Structure 1
Amino acid sequence: MSVSNPTLITFVIYIVAMVLIGFMAYRSTNNLSDYILGGRSLGSVVTALSAGASDMSGWLLMGLPGAIYVSGLSESWIAIGLVTGAYLNWLFVAGRLRVQTEHNGDALTLPDYFASRFEDKSGLLRIISAIVILVFFTIYCASGIVAGARLFESTFGMPYETALWAGAAATIAYTFVGGFLAVSWTDTVQATLMIFALILTPIIVLLATGGVDTTFLAIEAQDPSNFDMLKGTTFIGIISLMGWGLGYFGQPHILARFMAADSVKSIAKARRISMTWMILCLAGTVAVGFFGIAYFSAHPEVAGPVTENPERVFIELAKLLFNPWIAGVLLSAILAAVMSTLSCQLLVCSSALTEDFYKAFLRKNASQKELVWVGRAMVLVVALIAILLAANPDNRVLGLVSYAWAGFGAAFGPVVLISVLWKGMTRNGALAGIVVGAITVIVWKHFELLGLYEIIPGFIFASIAILAVSAMGKGPSKMMVERFDAAEKDFKLNQ
């Protein structure tokens, strides 16, 4: 690999820029609130784009295009489910969670919010929710590291083991140094890069395959059922793909963006920006995988890497169709997708360990400076464990993401959604919801029951557990009800 390789130079410039943003954010990080939530100072544009970028990890440019390339448009149900879920999350949860966390002890993390919202003096709710975060996020982090490793492996011909470390190093560096502000500012840059790549690439692939009519004829010639949205699907299959949308209500790295907004008034504008960005990105992703069918059927001599691993379809198209400098920018978009999500996940894990274990149980009077440095140390610990989990070169990005996504969606989704909409929810109801949701996902995944995506039974059973246990036991305290009403009034006045 020559040092003059334009793609390598582009990557290096991009990575250096992200790390420099990390050092700029370092200067604005004075306490744990700054490190974990950026001092609740994000405007609507940064809130919108960082929520989008932190959501759309490497699967956006690798896992989903690969699935479309293999199966055609029948895999696009997942995109429809995601758009629906994300919109409902912005509509019902975003603004309310912003005010509820402020009214409930100015909570910095989800476990912190649960403990304050439900007056949990035992610490059990905090501990169990923090454990769920650590278990599923470590798997999620591993998916990001696999995606980064695949990128470095196929772009620079690195061995997978070396590519693991190369892909993770820069993300760990700027998250370690700059915390939440670094993650949010870099997310904004990365979201811009991702949408540029996902609008430009399908257009160039269309031109390379002879325009819309020729491309569609080539896709139909390869397999007419590629156009069939119901190809190879069942009712359960479609419900499973659409069920991905339920996951949004429980993703800590996305919910953290809502909690960090500068005010509820920013949320409506952020929702419009974020949803526009998301729809364009998902449409571009589906188009890359779909048009890739036509390109590689016309050029079978270069289809080898994609046949071996369909998740490389975007990477190979970028390398084959673009000038090396432009290809470097487009491939940096995959790195952007990986880095944006991985950095958020590392930070949420670090927050759980620092705020919900270290500060809550070990060092209640720790100084802000000490807590920030403990947070940084935890970023390194979680990253190392995730790298070890990602060491198997047979890992597939979408498989790892789907498990972690289901875990959070079922364990936290119903608890977050019901906690911001119903004042009658109790501490035992919340505890039952988290435990039932997490266990259902693990058991359902293990036995692969009915072929149904585990998030759906997990979400349903957790919701039932919350409502049943809350109704059976002693109701919420007067103070809990008063705080809920005050937060809801604040939300309605300012939205």
Structure 2
Amino acid sequence: MIESDVWVVFAMLIYFAVVVCIGFVYAKRSNSSSEEYFLGGRGLGPWLTALSAEASDMSGWLLMGLPGVAYFTGASDAMWTAIGLAIGTYLNWKFVAKRLRKYSEKANNSITVPDFFSNRFHDGKHVLMTIAALIIILFFTIYTASCFVTVGKLFATLFGWDYATMMIIGAIIVFLYTFLGGYLSVCTTDLIQGSLMFFALATIFVGSVTAAGGVDNTVAFLQSIPGFLSGTEIAVPIVDEAGKQVVENGQPLFAEAGAYGLVTIVSGLAWGLGYFGMPQVLIRFMSIRHSSEIKKSRLIAMIWLVVSLSSAVCIGLIGRAVIPAEFLTQASAESVFIVLSRMLLPSFFCGLVVSGIFAAAMSSSSSYLLISGSAVANNIFKGLLKRDATDSQVMIAARVTLTAILILGCFLALDQDSSIFNIVSYAWAGFGASFGPLMLLSLYWRRTTMQGAVAGMLTGACTVVVWNMFIKPLGGWFGVYELLPGFVLALVVIVVVSLLTPEPKQEVLDDFDTYMELDV
């Protein structure tokens, strides 16, 4: 290992040591009860809530997936996706956060999203809880795998180390502090990691502009690539039979710009719908200590998100001007942030900055592991199999689940050529369509019935899978991002089935009519 690598590793080791220590610090408090372990005792302040929600949401996708798309095909895909996410984030904080904080407490002090759905409709047989828990396990296993891919690519790109080995080691580090410290350790490290991600993006954005010769030179170079900076066209790399971009005289070749029509713009904006059903964000709304602090959290979250998304997209674009022929596939282009960090920063600071990537992957995968563990332990083990289970037994079941998902996630992440962006987009659609429409109607429409809720949840999940596999390849309007048809169909099904079935019991309606009076 050369001297510069030693300093990079040293900086990253300091970071790893800090986050694992946080797990030990919170271990005693988190193990005092399942509510502490899964929800932090509903005691999070506005800063912790905001940065934890955004850091766990964005994951390594923000620092690798999004810049990779911008580097390879230009601004359009990355820009419209970022705009959709920013709009969706604001609407989620504005219309869901306060109501869910209040209603989750009214609904028998629900501590997980499946808990909330089941308690909201007084589902004594736990049908909703079970379906929601199974959906969480399915899509969060995929999500967790995307984070492990991020970790593997990070170390393989930085040091040339074996991808699979480093992916597994990184996964074990995430597992350790989630296993030990529970929700409080996850949220506290999210605060650190969200700050680090923000600093890393801002630093590399400014540095890459300087490396490219200033704003004017950068823009001039990128404008020479057909459609690269357009929001209504897309750059089309010329690729060989192996799928790699062709390079001549050190410059990558592009065909004429491709059309980026209304369907693809709508697909990008549709990403915002996913927020209404994202468990790792919704759980943060449930855990804030008082609903009056949500407005402050929303402001913090939006500033963080807009700056971070803008920086990530710009890093990918500017990276094409700084190292135009470095990456020949979209999967490899997802390492552009890492390579720029290595080029632009002294070794020790490079280590701190690229820890932002590991931070992002850790914050998200730990949330996914914890929510999956709670879904199995609290909703299936205690909710169905052993209703008299003690807190200690519930937490043992959760940790067994964490171990199983760790192993399965590592298996799914073994392919080094996996695209982080594509993996995340599929899981994002699954959650958005399954839980989003039901969450909105649960909070705003008292006539929603349990039958409608079950039908809508299943419709959303099945539509995403079927649309992605069989309908999307047909192209045209059928090529729209599967989240949109899944969300719309689920919404319609919930309304229609609710109107065709008897209205909810009086106690359900009473809960709905009075839940906003809580936490005043």
TM-score range, shorter chain: over 0.9
Q: Which residue of 1 aligns with 2:28?
A: 27
When normalised by structure 2's length, the TM-score is 0.91
Distance in 2 separating the partners of 1:168 and 1:11: 15
Structure 1 gap segments, 5+ residues each: none
Distance in 1 separating the partners of 2:370 and 2:341: 31
Deviation track 1:30-87 (CA, whole Å, cap 9, x = no partner) reads: 1100110011110000000000001111110111001011121112100000000011
Q: Which residue of 2 aligns with 1:45?
A: 47
Q: Which residue of 2 aligns with 1:284?
A: 311
Distance in 2 separating the partners of 1:423 and 1:306: 50
Q: Which residue of 2 aligns with 1:242?
A: 269
Q: What secondary structure, in the 3-state scheme, does the structure 2 residue paired with 1:277 have? A: helix
Letter in 1 for 2:122: E
- Pick the aligned partner of 2:492 from 439, 460, 464: 464
Distance in 2 separating the partners of 1:224 and 1:162: 40
Q: Which residue of 2 aligns with 1:233?
A: 260
Q: Which residue of 1 aligns with 2:10?
A: 9
Q: Which residue of 2 aligns with 1:65?
A: 67
Question: Over aligned residue pairs, what C-alpha RMSD do you find?
Answer: 1.4
- Pick the aligned partner of 1:204 from 204, 207, 216: 207
Determine if contact 1:152/1:166 at 8 Å carries over to the other structure: no
Distance in 2 separating the partners of 1:193 and 1:344: 18
Distance in 2 separating the partners of 1:385 and 1:73: 34
| 1:100 pairs with 2:103 | yes
Determine if contact 1:305/1:312 at 8 Å carries over to the other structure: no
Distance in 2 separating the partners of 1:7 and 1:324: 5
Determine if contact 1:440/1:454 at 8 Å carries over to the other structure: yes
Q: Which residue of 1 aligns with 2:241?
A: none
Q: Which residue of 2 aligns with 1:479?
A: 507
Residue 210 to residue 481, structure 1, CA distance change in 2 (3 Å)? same
Distance in 1 separating the partners of 2:53 and 2:331: 33
| Alignment map for 1:387-406 (pairs within 5 Å) | 387-406=410-429
Shift of 1:166: 1.8
Determine if contact 1:177/1:376 at 8 Å carries over to the other structure: no
Q: Which residue of 2 aligns with 1:364?
A: 387
Determine if contact 2:277/2:435 at 8 Å carries over to the other structure: yes
Distance in 1 separating the partners of 2:330 and 2:265: 25
Shift of 1:307: 7.8
Shift of 1:108: 1.0
Between structures 1 and 2, the one with greater helix share:
1
Q: What secondary structure, in the 3-state scheme, does the structure 1 residue paired with 2:175 have? A: helix
Determine if contact 2:64/2:334 at 8 Å carries over to the other structure: yes
Q: Which residue of 2 aligns with 1:377?
A: 400
Q: Which residue of 2 aligns with 1:109?
A: 112
Deviation track 1:292-344 (CA, whole Å, cap 9, x = no partner) reads: 111113xx5xx258787111110110011111111111110000110000000
Shift of 1:11: 1.1
Distance in 1 separating the partners of 2:321 and 2:414: 33
Determine if contact 1:137/1:404 at 8 Å carries over to the other structure: yes
- Pick the aligned partner of 1:417 from 440, 446, 454: 440
Determine if contact 2:330/2:419 at 8 Å carries over to the other structure: no
Determine if contact 1:66/1:289 at 8 Å carries over to the other structure: yes
| Alignment map for 1:240-319 (pairs within 5 Å) | 240-297=267-324, 300=325, 303=326, 309-319=332-342
Q: What secondary structure, in the 3-state scheme, does the structure 2 residue paired with 1:366 have? A: coil
Determine if contact 2:197/2:357 at 8 Å carries over to the other structure: yes
Deviation track 1:125-145 (CA, whole Å, cap 9, x = no partner) reads: 111111111111111111111
- Pick the aligned partner of 1:163 from 161, 166, 184: 166
Shift of 1:152: 1.4
Structure 2 gap segments, 5+ residues each: 234-258, 473-477
Q: What secondary structure, in the 3-state scheme, does the structure 2 residue paired with 1:227 have? A: coil
Distance in 2 separating the partners of 1:481 and 1:53: 36
Shift of 1:363: 2.3
Letter in 2 for 1:270: S
Distance in 2 separating the partners of 1:367 and 1:447: 45
- Pick the aligned partner of 1:119 from 122, 125, 140: 122
Determine if contact 1:306/1:316 at 8 Å carries over to the other structure: no
Deviates more, 1:285-294 or 1:342-351: 285-294
Distance in 2 separating the partners of 1:305 and 1:172: 33
- Pick the aligned partner of 1:336 from 359, 364, 372: 359
Residue 456 to residue 306, structure 1, CA distance change in 2 (3 Å)? closer
| 1:346 pairs with 2:374 | no
Q: Which residue of 2 aligns with 1:143?
A: 146
Distance in 2 separating the partners of 1:477 and 1:40: 29
Shift of 1:362: 2.3
- Pick the aligned partner of 2:430 from 407, 411, 429: 407
Letter in 2 for 1:441: V
Distance in 2 separating the partners of 1:156 and 1:414: 44
Determine if contact 1:141/1:386 at 8 Å carries over to the other structure: yes
Deviates more, 1:198-207 or 1:459-468: 198-207
Q: What secondary structure, in the 3-state scheme, does the structure 1 residue paired with 2:355 have? A: helix
- Pick the aligned partner of 1:54 from 21, 41, 56: 56
Distance in 1 separating the partners of 2:150 and 2:443: 35
Deviates more, 1:276-285 or 1:379-388: 379-388
